[in-house]
Amino acid sequence: MYIYCSIIAIYKGEWLDYYNKNLAIAIDQYGNGLCSYLFNQILIKKGRHQFGNIDETISSVIGKNKVAGTLTWLGKFVDKILDLLEKDHSIKAIDPTEN
């Protein structure tokens, strides 16, 4: 299925810009739901912005907790890794429509 859809996306010129970006976001949202119990225990202090909403990315939750000052030391470490990939990634990833 992936190969077929990739071929169509390449043909349409959407492979890098649209197709794979959407897949990456979907996997990220899935991971937010799948790992929510673990991430809530090890990445954030008790706070308002919890992991588990499958409509929100992991980076968005990390960004909200960074702003709120509720990241654990491990959460801050993960945020620093994200910063290596893109400066202020978690802040840029905040989804204001998800609480």
Would you state the pLDDT for residue 15?
61
- Report yes or no on 56 lying in a domain: yes
The answer to the question of residue 6 being in a domain is yes
46 and 69 in contact (C-beta within 8 Å)?
A: no
Q: Does the reported pTM lie above 0.85?
A: no
User: Mean pLDDT by 10-residue block, N- to C-terminus, for the chain (99 residues)?
Assistant: 75 71 89 97 90 95 96 97 95 88
98 located within any domain: no
Report the alpha-carbon distance of residue 90 to residue 33 in Å, rounded: 17
pLDDT value at residue 96: 87
Task: Give the total number of structural domains in the chain.
Answer: 1
Residues with Cβ < 8 Å from 35, sequence gap 6 or more? 51, 58
- Predicted pLDDT of residue 21: 80
What range does the domain containing 39 cover?
Answer: 2-92
In a domain, 30, yes or no: yes
| Residue 99 within any structural domain of the chain | no
CB 45 within 8 A of CB 72: yes
**Looking at residue 22, what is its pLDDT?**
84
Answer for the pair 72, 44: CB distance below 8 angstroms, yes or no: yes
